[in-house]
Structure 1
Amino acid sequence: MRVHFRVSGLFVLLLPIALVASGWVVAAPAPAAPPGFAPDRTYAVGVRTFDLGRGTARPLRVTVWYPARDDSPRSSGAGPAAPRRDAPVAAGRFPIVLFSHGLHSLPELHAPLTTRWAAAGFVVAAPAYPHTKRAARRFDRGDIRRQPGDARRVIRYLTRLDRASGDRFAGRLAVTRIGAVGHSAGGYTTAGLFAPGHSARLRGGIVIGGAGMPGTAFGGPAAPLLFVHGDADRVVPVSRGRDAFRRVPWPKAFLTVRGGGHGEYLVPGRRGFAQTLAVTTEFLRWTLYGDTQARRHLPTSASSEVTVFADRLDRDLSTETSRLRPLG
């Protein structure tokens, strides 16, 4: 399938929604992983949506992909199953990943990544930001500075659902293990979440094709950060990402996609996608599950002629990992 790109502001149109279903293999149900180990299986994927702030000046539609129980019969050789709407959640407790889109984008346009992370054992919540999303009624580039507040609102809502009797997410969310990921303007939003005073529940972040939130410093509880950037990015120059990287006071890493632009490496089959998917998944497995084996795999996952990995993840996080409770 040919994919056509269109740069608009800080956004690259990644992929038709038809690719939402691509890329995972359904496995049989398995028990939750013990502390220190991420799941070693691939889950079926469910999807549900919420509308927050309905009737207010900041309506916020949220798409959530999550590990699902696979109750459907599967024939031998069948292709990958599409995410099932409102499917039962798989057994266990799963960390939360807050995903932020770029300008003129939508959560579903990033499904090639978000569904794969869900299949790996994460609940991925992606808000459609009210004034920077695609076809926003009143588009406002400057509204990016308010988006970290929207993201925190989504996290608070999911935290309440984990305690809500009768909700399918009740008892299934590891609300003390939260990560944040964002592309382009969403990368700036993600960086803004790691400002002084951020919650210790925010354990790691990934900034893709973005940089630091203007006027906001990194501060608060230490949280490892990963930057992913194409060195031929003409929308957000790689120098901006590297400048933000230098200002991070915590464990950090920088994955450079050689010859990469602003987002084509986020598309399956394109140059750099395999490395980006592998590194981001291992990073989430390490920071949110405390999986030390995933930490060891990071340099190997990034090793290729396509990418360069700068590893500054040298702080001993054993005390952080040891206080993680079982995900049962």
Structure 2
Amino acid sequence: MPSDRLGRQITAVKPITVPTPVPATGHGPARGTDLQVKVTAPVVGRDLPVIVFSHGNAWSMDGYGPLADRWAAAGFVVVQPTHLDSRRHAIGWDDPRFATVWRVRIADLHAVLDGLGGILAQAGGLEDRVDRERVAVAGHSWGAQTAGTLLGARVLGADGSPGEDFSHPAVAAGALIAATGTGDSLTPFAAEHLPFMRPDYATMTTPALVVAGGRDQSQLSTRGPEWFTDAYRLSPSPKSLLTIDEGEHTLGGLAGEAAAETTDEDPARVALVADAVSAYLLDALKVDGSAWAALKDAAAAGDGTWSVAGK
């Protein structure tokens, strides 16, 4: 990533409340609580691209600072909603509302995209500095499955038939980090409590980068780390895959330093993921392809601990 991008000062504004349909038409039930977001952006610059980021289970707009800050320093406006499954809402696995949270998550991203102008207007007048034609979605873990639906992935029903099309016309590219694999190998617990964890990537046509850790062994699947490459293998091109051999589920600590979920803390690994996503999206959104080309060259010339593939 060019040093001038990473040297930019950034600023953040929170909370910003986002209006949501009641019910969220076509995308699930009403939330029952306000949807709030955090916006992180460069202090200066115009024609800025946008990343709407969906957090992993139980997190919030206040997590994933290492990603949001680095993306903003690279020239993006980053919008982070707090989903209904956030710890601050105290909705656990056994809560009767949990069965529809996956739909509310999708509705949250649609509400952010549909209301982006109003959100940016409340974030220091950013609406005049953003390029609304260059918008991407990204997510980690459950957030990656959520973001994937806006790229065209669907959720298979109990009978194996594809569910609704939740893709959004404003989304031009995406990045899926530790994305849920197909549902044919779910553990009994996952099959009972997370039946929506059955993505179908055959219709995910929007360009995307998939990031997977070579040591990411999910307790929700009987398969190994290759489960997290399904979003790349089973979706149509154009797609790219970043594989980090020693990476576990948080890939070094994406949600924050010393977070309890981090089992492989490594700031350099977090920086690699953040910079790979921003480089890919700058290229996919046709802003600047130089950083992505440099990253692919570095992967080819490196020590083999991480790799980039494409199709």
TM-score (ref. length: structure 1): 0.68
Give the counterpart of 2:198 among 192, 214, 219.
214
Partners in 1 of 2:232 and 2:71 — Cα distance? 24
Structure 1 unaligned spans of 5+: 1-23, 28-39, 69-89, 313-328
Give the counterpart of 1:233 among 203, 216, 229.
216
When residues 107 and 301 of structure 1 are mapped into structure 2, their CA distance, relative to the original with a 3 A threshold, is: farther
Q: Do residues 262 (structure 1) and 249 (structure 2) align? A: yes
When residues 291 and 191 of structure 1 are mapped into structure 2, their CA distance, relative to the original with a 3 A threshold, is: same
Report the Cα offset of residue 161 of structure 1: 4.9
Q: Report the counterpart of residue 319 of structure 1 in structure 2.
A: none
Q: Is the 8 A contact 2:140 2:176 kept in 1?
A: yes
Q: Report the counterpart of residue 57 of structure 1 in structure 2.
A: 32
CA RMSD of aligned residues (A): 2.9
Give the structure with the higher percent helix: 2
Report the Cα offset of residue 154 of structure 1: 0.8
Partners in 2 of 1:278 and 1:109 — Cα distance? 18
Which of 41-50 and 292-301 deviates more? 292-301
Q: Is the 8 A contact 1:100 1:186 kept in 2?
A: yes
Q: What pairs with 1:160-239 in structure 2 (closer than 5 Å)?
A: 160-161=118-119, 168-195=125-152, 196=165, 198-211=167-180, 214-219=198-203, 222-235=205-218, 237-239=224-226
Partners in 1 of 2:51 and 2:210 — Cα distance? 16
Matched letter for residue 203 of structure 2:
G
Secondary structure of the structure 1 residue equivalent to 2:212 = strand
Q: Do residues 285 (structure 1) and 282 (structure 2) align? A: yes
Give the counterpart of 2:68 among 114, 117, 123.
114
Q: Map Cα deviations across residues 198-238 of structure 1 (whole Å, 9 max, x no partner).
A: 34431111111113662554537x42111111121122643
Report the Cα offset of residue 296 of structure 1: 1.8
Q: Report the counterpart of residue 229 of structure 2 in structure 1.
A: 242
Structure 2 unaligned spans of 5+: 21-29, 153-164, 182-196, 258-265
Secondary structure of the structure 2 residue equivalent to 1:112 = helix
Give the counterpart of 1:253 among 240, 247, 251.
240
When residues 274 and 116 of structure 1 are mapped into structure 2, their CA distance, relative to the original with a 3 A threshold, is: closer
Give the counterpart of 1:154 among 107, 112, 115.
112
Q: Is the 8 A contact 2:150 2:168 kept in 1?
A: no
Q: Report the counterpart of residue 186 of structure 2 in structure 1.
A: none
Q: Is the 8 A contact 1:65 1:123 kept in 2?
A: yes
Partners in 1 of 2:126 and 2:149 — Cα distance? 27
Report the Cα offset of residue 197 of structure 1: 6.5
Q: Do residues 137 (structure 1) and 87 (structure 2) align? A: no
Q: Do residues 297 (structure 1) and 284 (structure 2) align? A: no
When residues 173 and 133 of structure 1 are mapped into structure 2, their CA distance, relative to the original with a 3 A threshold, is: same
When residues 218 and 148 of structure 1 are mapped into structure 2, their CA distance, relative to the original with a 3 A threshold, is: farther
Q: Is the 8 A contact 1:278 1:301 kept in 2?
A: no
Report the Cα offset of residue 150 of structure 1: 0.8
Q: Report the counterpart of residue 96 of structure 1 in structure 2.
A: 50
Q: Is the 8 A contact 2:53 2:139 kept in 1?
A: yes
Partners in 2 of 1:149 and 1:165 — Cα distance? 21
Q: Do residues 45 (structure 1) and 10 (structure 2) align? A: yes
Partners in 1 of 2:305 and 2:236 — Cα distance? 28
Matched letter for residue 150 of structure 1:
D
Partners in 2 of 1:165 and 1:150 — Cα distance? 18
Q: Could you list the runs of 4 or more consecutive aligned residues of structure 1 that deviate by over 6 angstroms after TM superposition? A: none
Partners in 2 of 1:188 and 1:147 — Cα distance? 10
Matched letter for residue 219 of structure 1:
T
When residues 215 and 278 of structure 1 are mapped into structure 2, their CA distance, relative to the original with a 3 A threshold, is: closer
Aligned length: 252
Q: Report the counterpart of residue 310 of structure 1 in structure 2.
A: 309
Partners in 2 of 1:172 and 1:63 — Cα distance? 17
Report the Cα offset of residue 172 of structure 1: 1.4
Secondary structure of the structure 1 residue equivalent to 2:13 = strand
Q: Is the 8 A contact 1:211 1:240 kept in 2?
A: yes
Q: Is the 8 A contact 1:266 1:276 kept in 2?
A: no
Matched letter for residue 156 of structure 1:
D
When residues 263 and 41 of structure 1 are mapped into structure 2, their CA distance, relative to the original with a 3 A threshold, is: closer
Matched letter for residue 239 of structure 1:
E
Report the Cα offset of residue 186 of structure 1: 0.6
Secondary structure of the structure 1 residue equivalent to 2:88 = coil
